[in-house]
Copies of this chain bind each other. A is one copy, B any other.
Amino acid sequence: MKEISQAELEVMKVLWQQAPQTANQVVEQLADASQWHEKTVKTLLNRLVGKGAVSFEKDGRAYLYSPVLQQTEYQLRESQSFIQRVLSGRIAPLLAGFAEQQQLKAEDVAELKQLIAKWEQEQK
């Protein structure tokens, strides 16, 4: 699977929320959110099909698009490559930075604790 560009990612997000969707449904959501021209969105859809990240089936004159690449899979892959590439494999500095910026929410901390508990279980 080829790399997905930033603009293409926005299109994927729309499809991840709901699928399948026609090109026009996708266009409408992104016209609101991103000020993108219809033609631009359709180009992006096309490129995503070319990259194998999105598939479509014909529904009369229009197409119905669906994501092939799943969001969790994408997030995991990107996270791993990001942590290697930018953070040299260490994850804690990222959180430290976040904490400093007061961007860590109670919710996040709760999830972290659970994660740690689970991890410790597995170590036994």
Question: A: which residues have CB within 8 A of B?
Answer: 6, 9, 72, 74-76, 78-80, 82-83, 85-87, 90-101, 103-104, 106-109, 111-113, 115-116, 118-120, 123
* In the complex, residue of chain B having the shortest beta-carbon distance to the beta carbon of A13: B88
Cβ contacts A to B, 14 pairs, < 8 Å:
A9-B85, A9-B86, A75-B86, A75-B97, A78-B82, A79-B86, A79-B98, A83-B98, A91-B108, A92-B108, A92-B111, A95-B112, A104-B119, A106-B123
CA distance A108 to B109 in the complex (A): 15
* In the complex, residue of chain B having the shortest beta-carbon distance to the beta carbon of A73: B97
Q: Contacts A116-B112, A119-B109 known; A87 to B79 CB distance under 8 Å?
A: yes
* In the complex, residue of chain B having the shortest beta-carbon distance to the beta carbon of A78: B86
Q: Contacts A82-B82, A85-B6, A108-B90 known; A97 to B119 CB distance under 8 Å?
A: no
Q: Which residues of B contact A109 (CB under 8 A)?
A: 116, 119-120
Contact of A115 among B9, B83, B95 (CB under 8 A): B95
Contact of A80 among B74, B96, B101, B106 (CB under 8 A): B101
* Cβ-defined contact, B116 with A94, below 8 A: no
Q: Which residues of B contact A104 (CB under 8 A)?
A: 91, 119
